[in-house]
Structure 1
Amino acid sequence: MAESFLTGIKEHFGSGNYEGDEHGGASGTSGQGLPTGTPGNFMFATGIECSYPTIEHGKVRRDLLEECGHYEHWKKDLQLVQDMGLKVLRYGLPYYSMHKGPGEYDWEFADKVMAEIQRLEITPILDLMHFGVPDWLGNFQNPELPVHFAEYCGAVAERYPWVRYYTPINEIYVTAKLSAKDGIWNEQLQSDKAFVTAIKHMVAASIMGNQQIAKHRPDCVIVQSESAEYTHELRTERTPHIQLENKLRFLALDLLYAHHPDGEVFSYLRKNGLTQEEYDWFMVGEPPGYQIMGNDYYGRNERMILPDGEVLVASDVMGWFNITHDYYLRYRKPVMHTETNIFNPDEAPAWLWKQWVNILQMRKIGVPVLGFTWYSLIDQVDWNRGLEVKEGTVNACGLFDMDRNPRPVAAAYRKLLQEYGQITIIPHGELFEQTSRPATLKVEI
């Protein structure tokens, strides 16, 4: 019998744990351990709920930073982020109260919080507009919004030069739909023209704001958080307006990323006030910096319409993986799961793990996934009614309750972090660690 090649290997190198193999070989790291914040590692995050739309035709401002107790407990909240082992935080400054007028800002609260975030070595993804605007700007029908918001973005980037990650405007599509088509927030209009107007003003504001950020941080990373939507129409004969809605869910990102929509959507845009000159302006090219497509997914993002018109929440029929994969194939941008939660605290740990399975599946097919976010750190208020009515109902969807005590999902997230906290964005992602070089290439090759 011929001698086995293993004989020589054992004589020269031993019986395993070979010297040098610890550098990513069979005895290299598995990716276990709490996050370290290393560039190129997967970004595990949470967020502070910070919505501030107006309701009752502008008479009532919903400020969730206040309603969830963050103005009082901001230092404790930031400490909880660190105690969880998290290195990344989606954080929204209260734009509506900070921007007092053209060139006029109130930095008092922001300066305190941002200094503490920096001291704790937390990486903020800074959210600059979250469902509302200052009273003096009116609402999303104001064509002056892009100019004033861009000025604000530039002022923030100049004041906090150490911040690299931004979400200029959170969920543009949802903001426009609830404000201008469903009649719930802000301008409370219900027309296609108002919807298109809100969309184009916000996308233009995001682009111009992004440019001002890039002036100060040419290496900025823009995490554009958008809702991953889909409606299943369970009828043999489809309803045209529902099928159109399944196309319009892409509209904000189409304009933001200079992706030509199909003919039906283009016709809809032109009929409802988007001029050819405005359309051509959007299609010149995508904004500067490094663009990340963030997709938010809640069970209620996916709906089923039955033959009799009844609407049911479809929770996980397609799920984050399948819906986001459609978005990825359309835009070919690196992905981040930027929001998820569930209102039942007993079911939240299972929901967390289900979302993580979706991310693992996305990684398995080779899509670069930058990070994951449980939203939010603290319970929320009245999101069961979409903030439409100020009832004070606590939504038990946070990692911690209103008294800052942990909910079961906090322990589950900690367990997830301990198991996966040091994985890279893609296998051998160290080779492609996030460079501090300014972004340069702006075309697909």
Structure 2
Amino acid sequence: MKTFLTHIKEKYGDGGYAGDEFGGARGHDGRGLPTGQPNNFMFATGIECSNPTIDHGRIRRDLLQECGHYERWREDFALVKELGLKVLRYGLPYHKTHLGPGRYDWEFADQVMAELQRLEITPILDLLHFGVPDWLGNFQNPELPVHFADYAAAVAERYPWVRYYTPINEIYVTARMSGKDGIWNEQLKTDRGFVTAMKHLVAASIMATQQIAQRRPDCIIVQSESAEFVHELRSNPSPQITLDNKLRFVSLDLLYAHHPDGDVLNYLFDNGLTRREYDWFMAGEPPGYQIMGNDYYGRNERIILPDGTECTSMDVLGWYNITLEYYRRYRKPVMHTETNVFSAHEAPTWLWKQWVNILRMRAEGVPVLGFTWYSLIDQVDWDIGLSRQVGKVNACGLYDLDRKPRPVAASYKMLLQEYGQITIVPHGELFEVTKGPATLKVEV
């Protein structure tokens, strides 16, 4: 007796049916190095560009200088290209470029931006990375939002081909390290200092985004923020750590016009946020296509033991669980915008673990825009948060400071060859990133 398979074989042959190459059994599985197609997942690296001041403004920690990028930028960009990457998180040196109100030095910026364009590398342009020019002082300055908005407008006008921006990198970390932890810039250790820095930074990001959107209505804003959590192993949790686990949301709450919890709102009002300022933040989220980038390092999670001592938890919740909490709060497409470890030996395993987190998130149906190993080359003194100028090399790059590959570079290349052409979400061809302006206000 003939079955349906018999009839199919007689009519169409034994497998490899004509037409199946258009997305069927013979369709493309996503393998191969990235092509840069607008529906493709964005694999990236970054150039470490932090530039806060320490020692009460007497020392500028310019990591572009300390890691040799000012002299070797052509070589660094060539390494990005050689890896097969199409996307680079890249920060112009704000403290060197914005010389004063309406005054700019574009010499270095013009050179590097022209080379990125020539190499067809898409920059996610980072405009402020932990520091401001000397003439602006620090993040307690209420003039920051208007001056930074002018700078963002000038950048968008000068490089109109740039679409992806991170106006201010890790707002929460910037405000905490400068206003609360006493390590960078103003080096305050007060709640009021933290709240003041926070409101000025978020306002600066919003105003800058408005200026960018005037010039690029289709701009894509990748807000890179630290994915944090503190595990307190006490039967009676302390009010301070309970509050701290909520304060990690403050930057995005204010940025995305999401009302904070009542105790957080009281904290903000008690420490200098006015009702008028709060209403301004809650008027609505910034323009453009908004992407919620979450940076995750194992050291982002900490454990407080019953005796009060602290240890790094290293991946108890991990990027997936922490970012899923952020996603459910804000309902924005996400991106893994930074990760690394300080051990060159452990880095390949850490890379694969982060990729498993990405795959888990995709399996949940969450749109994940991309993944970033940060950074391209080793860093300096990040094991102590740049708090002192020691000069210790952190072996966390894809390449060392001599531009020789670390083991993780080969692992990243293997990952790219296996997954480099997957789409942002399964069947992502249906949802291709277009050039249309961002005009919709999405509530559901």
For the aligned pair, the TM-score class normalised by the smaller chain equals over 0.9
Q: Partners in 1 of 2:287 and 2:15 — Cα distance?
A: 49
Q: Partners in 1 of 2:227 and 2:41 — Cα distance?
A: 21
Tell me the residue number matched to 1:231: 230
Superposed displacement of residue 442, structure 1: 1.5
Tell me the residue number matched to 1:154: 153
Superposed displacement of residue 228, structure 1: 0.1
SS in 2 for 1:258: coil
Q: Partners in 1 of 2:322 and 2:12 — Cα distance?
A: 49
Q: Partners in 1 of 2:24 and 2:424 — Cα distance?
A: 18
SS in 2 for 1:315: coil
Letter in 1 for 2:382: W
Contact 1:147–1:205 (Cα < 8 Å) also in 2: yes
Tell me the residue number matched to 1:4: 3
- CA distances 1:290-341 after superposition (whole Å, capped 9, x unpaired): 0000000000000000000010000110000000000000000000000000
Using the size of structure 2 for normalisation, the TM-score is 1.00
- CA distances 1:170-222 after superposition (whole Å, capped 9, x unpaired): 00000000000000000000000110000000000000000000011000000
Q: Partners in 2 of 1:284 and 1:10 — Cα distance?
A: 63
Letter in 1 for 2:4: F
SS in 2 for 1:442: coil
Superposed displacement of residue 23, structure 1: 1.2
Q: Partners in 2 of 1:248 and 1:12 — Cα distance?
A: 66
- CA distances 1:215-262 after superposition (whole Å, capped 9, x unpaired): 110000000000000000000011100110000000000000000001
Contact 1:181–1:195 (Cα < 8 Å) also in 2: yes
Tell me the residue number matched to 1:45: 44
Tell me the residue number matched to 2:132: 133
Matched, 1:102 2:94: no
SS in 1 for 2:33: coil
Superposed displacement of residue 443, structure 1: 3.0
Contact 1:380–1:396 (Cα < 8 Å) also in 2: yes
SS in 2 for 1:198: helix
In structure 1, list runs of 5 or more residues that go unmatched: none
Contact 1:286–1:442 (Cα < 8 Å) also in 2: no
Matched, 1:124 2:123: yes
1:281-292 correspondence to structure 2 within 5 Å: 281-292=280-291
Superposed displacement of residue 12, structure 1: 1.5
- CA distances 1:85-112 after superposition (whole Å, capped 9, x unpaired): 0000000000011000000000000000
Matched, 1:361 2:335: no
SS in 2 for 1:26: coil
Tell me the residue number matched to 1:408: 407
Matched, 1:79 2:52: no
Matched, 1:169 2:168: yes
Q: Partners in 2 of 1:15 and 1:222 — Cα distance?
A: 50
1:174-189 correspondence to structure 2 within 5 Å: 174-189=173-188
Matched, 1:272 2:283: no
- CA distances 1:143-187 after superposition (whole Å, capped 9, x unpaired): 000000000000000000000000000000000000000000000
Q: Partners in 1 of 2:400 and 2:412 — Cα distance?
A: 15
SS in 2 for 1:226: strand
Letter in 1 for 2:84: G
Tell me the residue number matched to 1:425: 424
Tell me the residue number matched to 2:304: 305
Letter in 2 for 1:159: R
Tell me the residue number matched to 2:247: 248
Q: Report which stretch shifted further, 9-18 or 289-298.
A: 9-18
Q: Partners in 1 of 2:28 and 2:271 — Cα distance?
A: 55
- CA distances 1:351-382 after superposition (whole Å, capped 9, x unpaired): 00000000000000100000000000000000
Tell me the residue number matched to 1:444: 443
Letter in 1 for 2:284: G
1:12-23 correspondence to structure 2 within 5 Å: 12-23=11-22
Q: Partners in 2 of 1:19 and 1:224 — Cα distance?
A: 45
Tell me the residue number matched to 2:337: 338
Superposed displacement of residue 13, structure 1: 1.3
Q: Partners in 2 of 1:59 and 1:347 — Cα distance?
A: 36
Tell me the residue number matched to 1:399: 398
SS in 2 for 1:399: coil
Tell me the residue number matched to 1:32: 31
Superposed displacement of residue 67, structure 1: 0.2
Letter in 2 for 1:343: F
Q: Partners in 2 of 1:128 and 1:40 — Cα distance?
A: 25
Q: Partners in 2 of 1:162 and 1:289 — Cα distance?
A: 15
Q: Partners in 1 of 2:428 and 2:16 — Cα distance?
A: 23
SS in 1 for 2:354: helix
Tell me the residue number matched to 2:322: 323
Letter in 2 for 1:121: E
1:193-208 correspondence to structure 2 within 5 Å: 193-208=192-207
- CA distances 1:267-310 after superposition (whole Å, capped 9, x unpaired): 00100000000000000110000000000000000000000001
Q: Partners in 2 of 1:335 and 1:229 — Cα distance?
A: 15
SS in 1 for 2:293: strand
SS in 2 for 1:91: strand
Q: Partners in 2 of 1:313 and 1:165 — Cα distance?
A: 33
Superposed displacement of residue 18, structure 1: 1.1
Q: Partners in 1 of 2:13 and 2:208 — Cα distance?
A: 60
Q: Partners in 1 of 2:46 and 2:142 — Cα distance?
A: 30
Superposed displacement of residue 436, structure 1: 0.4
Q: Partners in 2 of 1:24 and 1:305 — Cα distance?
A: 51
Q: Partners in 1 of 2:357 and 2:266 — Cα distance?
A: 35
Q: Partners in 2 of 1:429 and 1:443 — Cα distance?
A: 20
Tell me the residue number matched to 2:217: 218
Tell me the residue number matched to 2:189: 190
Aligned pairs, number: 444
Q: Partners in 2 of 1:189 and 1:396 — Cα distance?
A: 30
SS in 1 for 2:316: coil
SS in 2 for 1:215: helix
Letter in 2 for 1:404: R
Superposed displacement of residue 7, structure 1: 1.3
